[in-house]
Amino acid sequence: MSAASNSLENHILNGTLRGYATPYTAPVATDIKLALFSGTASDVLVALEQGTSATTVGNWGRYEINTGSYARTQITFGTDTTTGSISNTANCTFPTATANYDNTNSDGATITCIAIIDEGRSQVMYYGLLSNSKEILNGDTFQVATGNLTISLA
């Protein structure tokens, strides 16, 4: 995963190239959550890049899962990186689905995209397409195992 939202890109550029004229306050660790999205991947990715949490057309809130006891789940990243990339350092396990996953747009239970959300601001930080989409039905559990989610800046 290497795509950053427009919002995060603007914060980074303004903070690093304008002498920190518009400082960015990083979210507290407990506000860094992984979110799951279903729908046509190209539509979801565009919404994650530039949209908001609203459930209207063109916004990522329309594609985020909202059924089956789904909840954004905290994801943990390790020590400082010196390589330009960082990976999750613990399993990120979502609650067991109590019904088939779906979203406001009724796109179904197949997860196509994920995003790291700053829950305190309700803003997408990083997002990407799953290598293999995954259908989550009643009784299933979605998990990202330790080391399987890497964020890279290139």
The pLDDT value recorded for residue 23 is 66
Find, among 28, 129, 15, the residue nearest to 76 by Cα: 28
- What pTM, to 2 d.p., does this model score? 0.90
Q: What percent of the chain has pLDDT over 90?
A: 62
Q: What is the mean pLDDT of residues 28-46?
A: 94
The pLDDT value recorded for residue 25 is 75
The pLDDT value recorded for residue 19 is 67
Q: Is the pLDDT of residue 136 over 90?
A: yes
